[in-house]
Amino acid sequence: MLDHVSIFSQSGTVLWSRSLCQLRGNPVDELVKTVLLEERTGRKELNYDAYQMRWTLENKLNLVLVVVYQKVLQLLYVDELLERLKQEVVASFIDEIRARAPIAFDDAFDRILRDVETSYMKGKHMNTTTTSTRALPTSKKNGAARADASSDPADKEKDDSEGVTSSADELDRLKHDMARLGSSKSTKTMRTGPRPSKFKKNADKPADDKNKGTKKPALSYTIKDKISAKDMAKLDQSKPVTADDEQAMLDTKRRENIGADTMSDDENESESEQSGTDGSSGWSFGQTRLGDFLQKVSGNKMLTRDDLAPVMDQFRQTLIAKNVATEVAEELCESVMTTMIGKRLESFTRIQTVVQKALETALLRILTPKKSTDVLREVLAAREAGRCYSIVFVGVNGVGKSTSLSKVCYYLKSRGVKVMIAACDTFRSGAVEQLNQHCKVLDVPLFERGYAKDPAAVARDAVAYGNDNGFDCVLIDTAGRMQNNEPLMRALAKLVSVNNPDLVLFVGEALVGNDGIDQLSLFDRALVDYSDRQDPRRVDGIVITKFDTIDDKVGAAVSMVYKTGQPIMFVGTGQKYTNLTKLNIKTVMRSLLS
């Protein structure tokens, strides 16, 4: 019934494995990528294609034991099998495990699997026998009825008379009980009349004297009897705007919206700058509320769930208070607890130290991108290949997609990239005009076909125009839509499926909590469900807006990355075009644990 069993270390060394049949794909690799590397070990199972996987951890030796079987099978003995395998491996191959050497586990595995399956079948047989035994009283009653039918009539008459007597006695007893029950109910008095009002005292109180005699002062409006020519000139907006006036307005907008460029092309520069200020700030984990709580717990023993439960509960509450989604906070705490159970503390080592490292490692592993977030490098690589790089911005209404698009446009244009913007929001009134204003200020062309057009066709024409006219990058703006609006989500999936852009960015607010992961998950799922491609596209990255308005409640970043596994490409920190930065992981970690 099993398809594959594997035993490997958390560092990646495979100690033993056996495939009982040919596997389709690599389910164990999927487990490593989506569970072990993403701090989701608190989950009990994982579905991959037609397979289901269950696993267990031996934290003392950093071992992982995985069982793969068909998803349609309900194997109730898998947990017992994993526990038996773990006990046997630890008891018999401790030296090989520490040396990370292969183990000869075939015979022991066959024996344990046979014992577990035999025990399971016996238990299943006993349950079947118990179920059949419960049906025996009914059979006995039927047999007794048949025996009564075939008995002597004289005996039957005698039994009937005895039955009548017993029935009469039973009837008298029931009447007596009913009479006693009725008398006890009659002793209870029933309240009649209206219920006394509990607001009567308040109603009798006189009105507050302070409210007497106070009236709101009347508003006075000054109306001019005569309007001068100067006033008429201020109100007159019908006069034509000259080219000089329009250029002056654009210069004013550029001065207001374009400041000093704070974006760094070096992904590690912001991290090093922050690490340099950490020492001077004097911040440490022990100075936080969570660190103060952990300092009270210390000892030298093997950690158990009871030891870690209060610590993890405090950590969970801290995460939720910092705007991390409740579901994500619970899964993360359970994952950290699972990786720490069974580890032994060294002498004179506090639990605070161990938990601190586990929490920081988990957050660092979650927030660290698994792929490159350097969009500029990918755009330049596409230019070298002679094609136009395309980026699609998606998200719900009002999160700042057009503003984020214009910031990315300025970021690329200021680094020598020839950029064009495509107006594919053909639904919202004023969307094309809004992008047109951004394009005038940024001095980039706008590709638009007006309103009530197919967004997928507009995007296709824009990409073709960009390739034909030597543009390096096309930024595609889409209409905002709610994640549960099926017709609009189908239209978005069509746009992505038809054009197959190089990058699909989800734009989300930093203010959201539980709604953020719901929006992102349903957008990602819709691109898969409504696509007509064999390999459907998904969300490739995240842009978080309004990051300057949340103070230390940075949990939305953790929630979105944890739920999808996709990196945060950009962070919006203001209204100007230059207010776009890369995510600083150390800043987020410090805000979460403070």
Q: What is the SS3 string spanning 16-69?
A: EEEECCCCCCCHHHHHHHHHHCCCCCCCCEEEECCEEEEEEEECCCCEEEEEEE
Q: How far is CA 28 from CA 16, 54, 371, 543, in A?
A: 13, 10, 20, 31
- Alpha-carbon gap, residue 44 to 79, rounded angstroms: 10
Burial 180-203, CB ≥16 within 10 A → b, else e: eeeeeeeeeeeeeeeeeeeeeeee
Beta strand extents in 346-471 (DSSP E only): 389-394, 419-423, 446-447
Q: Which positions ≥6 away from 283 have C-beta within 8 Å? A: 590, 594
Return the CA Rg of the chain. 36
| Short-list 501, 506, 460, 464, CA closest to 483 | 506
What is the 8-class DSSP label of residue 298? B
Q: How far apart are CA 140 and CA 126, in angstroms?
A: 22
Where residue 345 falls (left for φ over 0; alpha for ψ -120 to 50; beta otherwise) is beta
Tell me how far CA of residue 398 lies from CA of 140, 393, 402, 482, in angstroms: 73, 13, 9, 10
Opening angle at CA 116, ends 112 and 121, nearest 5:
150
Q: What is the pLDDT of residue 436?
A: 92
Each of the 594 residues of the chain gets a pLDDT tens digit; together they read: 789 999 999 888 999 999 988 888 899 998 888 888 877 877 778 888 889 999 998 888 889 999 999 988 888 889 999 999 999 999 999 888 888 899 999 999 999 999 998 888 887 666 665 555 554 554 444 554 444 444 454 454 444 444 445 555 666 666 666 666 655 544 444 444 455 544 444 444 444 444 445 555 555 556 666 777 777 777 776 666 677 777 777 777 777 777 666 565 554 444 444 444 444 444 555 455 555 445 445 445 678 888 888 888 888 888 888 888 888 888 888 888 888 888 877 666 677 677 777 888 888 888 888 888 899 999 999 999 999 999 999 999 888 899 999 999 999 999 999 999 999 988 888 889 999 999 999 999 999 998 888 999 999 999 999 999 999 999 999 988 888 888 889 999 999 999 999 999 999 998 876 777 888 989 999 999 998 888 888 999 999 999 988 888 888 889 899 888 889 999 999 888 999 999 888 888 888 877
Token pair in block for residue 407: 């910031």
Q: Name the 3-class secondary structure at 503.
A: strand
Look at strands 51-58 and 45-48 and give their pairing.
Answer: antiparallel
CB-CB contact of 505 with 391 (8 Å): yes
pLDDT at 132: 54
Q: What is the pLDDT of residue 423?
A: 93
Report residue 95 as tokens.
């030296």
- How far, rounded to the nearest angstrom, does the alpha carbon of residue 469 sit from its chain's CA centroid? 41
Quick one: 157 exposed, middle or buried, by C-beta within 10 A (0-12, 13-18, 19+)?
exposed
Closest Cα partner for 370 from 1, 32, 9? 32
Name the burial class of residue 492, with classes exposed (0-12), middle (13-18) and buried (19+) by CB atoms within 10 angstroms of its CB: buried
**Residue 563 to residue 545: CA distance in whole angstroms:** 18
Cβ neighbour number for residue 35 with a 10 Å cutoff: 20
What's the farthest any 2 CA atoms get from each other in the chain? 127
Of 543, 565, 584, 594, residue with least CA distance to 39: 565
Evaluate whether 450 touches 435 at the Cβ level (below 8 Å).
Answer: no
State residue 264's pLDDT score.
57
Written as one string, the DSSP assignment of 523-563 is HHHHHHHT--SSS-----EEEEE-GGGSTT--HHHHHHHHH
Q: Give the CA distances from residue 226 to residues 236, 511, 558, in Å, rounded to whole numbers and listed in that order.
A: 16, 50, 62
Phi-psi label, residue 39: left if phi above 0, alpha if psi -120 to 50, beta otherwise: left
- The whole model's pTM is what? 0.66
Domains annotated on the chain, with CATH: 2-127 (3.30.450.60), 269-367 (1.20.120), 375-593 (3.40.50.300)
The predicted pLDDT at position 222 comes to 64
